């Protein structure tokens, strides 16, 4: 069970990294590290961009759940 949780954690984290990198536009590394590349202008997400954003949120919640479950399983054994 522990090995399966570790593999799931690694797979989800790699997918999360890819999805987050896909969301970074135009600002290069500066916007990835928190720089204000958009000039403070808010935009509405549409289409594929909205879907990627929602999948990123879902996977981050799944990653949190996998991590917590992994701690519980490790503590129980």
DSSP alpha helix (H) spans, 1-77: 2-23, 28-32, 48-76
Per-residue DSSP letter, 26: S
pLDDT value for 38: 55
CA distances from 39 to 6, 21, 30, 73 (A): 40, 20, 12, 45
pLDDT at 1 over 80: yes
pLDDT in tens, 11-42: 999 999 999 998 876 555 555 566 555 555 66
On whether the CB atoms of residues 38 and 27 are closer than 8 A, the answer is yes
Query: What phi-psi label fits residue 16: left (phi over 0), alpha (psi between -120 and 50 degrees) or beta?
Result: alpha
pLDDT in tens, 39-58: 556 667 788 889 999 999 99
């Amino acid at each position: 069970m522990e090995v399966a949780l570790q593999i799931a954690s690694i797979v989800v984290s790699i997918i999360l990294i890819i999805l987050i990198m896909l969301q970074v536009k135009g600002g290069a590394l500066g916007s990835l590290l928190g720089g204000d590349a958009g000039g403070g202008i808010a935009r509405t997400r549409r289409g594929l961009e909205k879907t990627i954003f929602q999948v990123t949120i879902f996977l981050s919640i799944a990653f949190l759940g996998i991590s917590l479950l992994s701690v519980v399983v490790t503590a129980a054994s």
